[in-house]
């Protein structure tokens, strides 16, 4: 008789904070990439609510540009809008270059 080993990882839902078990994180479907890493959700419902709260890519970009103009730091914007820091730095540099021209 062969004994199969089960491996799992405990994750916390990014939206509701519920803890749940994931057998294979690479195959798990309720996830999004945030800040260069995967963030996990306990259910399809939590994933969709999180997506809806974030808004579309264009809406997030507009919020980010406004936050840059309001003088927030890169870290503050990344935390507030859940956007990768490299994206914020790119737009910050682009806006500064446009102001100089």
Query: How far apart are alpha carbons 30 and 44 in whole angstroms?
Result: 6
Q: Do 66 and 41 belong together in one domain?
A: no
Q: Is residue 4 part of a domain?
A: no
Both 46 and 14 in one domain: the answer is yes
Q: Tens digit of pLDDT for each residue in 15-43?
A: 999 999 998 888 899 999 887 789 999 99
For residue 22, tell me if it sits in a domain: yes
Tell me, yes or no, whether 96 lies in a domain.
Answer: yes
Same domain assignment for residues 68 and 88: yes
Q: Do 46 and 13 share a structural domain?
A: yes
pLDDT-derived band of residue 91, with 50, 70 and 90 as boundaries? very high
Q: Is residue 38 part of a domain?
A: yes
Give, in order, the Cα–Cα distances in Å from 39 to each of 7, 11, 43, 73, 82.
19, 9, 12, 23, 11
Instruction: Tell me 43's DSSP state.
Output: S
Question: Residue 76: is its pLDDT beyond 60?
Answer: yes
Whether residue 25 sits in one domain with residue 45? yes
Tell whether 3 is covered by a domain.
Answer: no
Report if residue 1 sits inside a domain.
no
Residue 96 belongs to domain spanning:
55-100
Q: Indicate whether 55 pLDDT > 80.
A: yes
């Amino acid at each position: 008789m062969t004994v199969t080993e089960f491996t799992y990882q405990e994750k916390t839902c990014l939206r509701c904070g519920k803890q749940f078990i994931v057998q294979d994180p690479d195959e798990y479907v309720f996830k999004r990439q945030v800040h260069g890493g995967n963030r996990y959700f306990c259910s399809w419902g939590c994933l969709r609510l999180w997506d809806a709260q974030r808004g579309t890519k264009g809406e997030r970009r507009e919020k980010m540009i406004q936050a840059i103009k309001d003088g927030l730091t890169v870290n503050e914007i990344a935390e507030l809008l859940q956007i990768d820091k490299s994206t914020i730095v790119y737009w910050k540099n682009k806006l500064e270059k446009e102001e100089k021209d």
